[in-house]
Amino acid sequence: MLEYSSIEELVKAAEDRKLKISEVVLEDEALQMDEPAEAVYKRMADSFKVMREAVVKGTDKDLRSTSGLTGGDAYRMKTYRERTGGGLMGDFMTGAVSRAIAVSEYNAAMGRIVATPTAGSCGIMPGCLVTMYEERGFEERDVVMSMFTAAAFGMVIAQKACIAGAQGGCQAECGSASGMSAAALTELMGGSPRQCGDACAIAIQNQMGLVCDPVAGLVEIPCIKRNASGCMIAFSAADMCLAGMVSEIPPDEVIIAMKNVGDALPQSLRETALGGLAATPTAIKLKEKVFGKEK
């Protein structure tokens, strides 16, 4: 059985058996849960369905968060894409960003989402994988299988470091989600298990030190827009590895470095809404708008 204690363990297990990481993980999960592999697969497929539904519902132009601070940006991005043919990023990436924002906004409106690995980073993986499914025509089974690789990497990150903004800053949430998604994208595109590990490492490196500073303590500003950038980082990391680039620092060392950086962050930058953007004059006014002035 797998211990999910390192990325190297997952890579070696797949390499030794000449399988994809997702295939090894699905088999292992079925064994550990004493269930047929198809039953385990179906639960993951149900999660992918929830992601697709969140994209649709999150793109509603009239959607607003419970606080009233956010909503409607996914619709704006979608119409911008249609109006300009993809804007500066191109049609494909603009669509991915629109989907990432949609799921994040739907979360802020108390909609049903899949925490991948957290609610605060829930738009990154759907932005990547729903886009591959809808825009590139990948088979649903292949996309769902890639989610097993992402999940396994997320388990390693949770064990070696953390996935909570309150513990490690936003690097632990959006950074982890980007790394997980980059690994899934790499496998989906035919990359090797080792390339999946490198893609995860590169994505995390590019968000190392990202603080968690939610305005008014809500997972909305700047969280939603960080999901959009995290989605783009995942795609770029996957493409770099598929092109033959590697992470000079091994994935497991990158994860430990992320943990050390998170531990070094002051409390004000770990989801307390006491520092960063949350401490700006405008953010304080927005907080008062939602909760009223403190006595």
pLDDT tens readout for residues 238-267: 999 999 999 999 999 999 999 999 999 999
Classify each residue of 182-200 as buried b or exposed e, where b means 16 or more C-beta atoms within 10 Å of its C-beta.
Answer: bbbbbbbbebbbbbbbbbb
Residues 201 and 251: their CA atoms lie apart, in Å, by 5
Output the pLDDT for position 295: 67
pLDDT tens readout for residues 77-100: 999 999 999 999 999 999 999 999
Output the pLDDT for position 116: 97
Domain boundaries, the chain: 7-291
Nearest to 180 by CA among 14, 7, 1: 7
CATH of domain 7-291: 1.10.4100
pLDDT tens readout for residues 192-209: 999 999 999 999 999 999
| Mean predicted confidence (pLDDT) in 127-150 | 98
CA torsion through residues 121, 232, 278, 209, sign: positive
- The DSSP symbol for 85 reads T
What pTM was computed for the model? 0.97
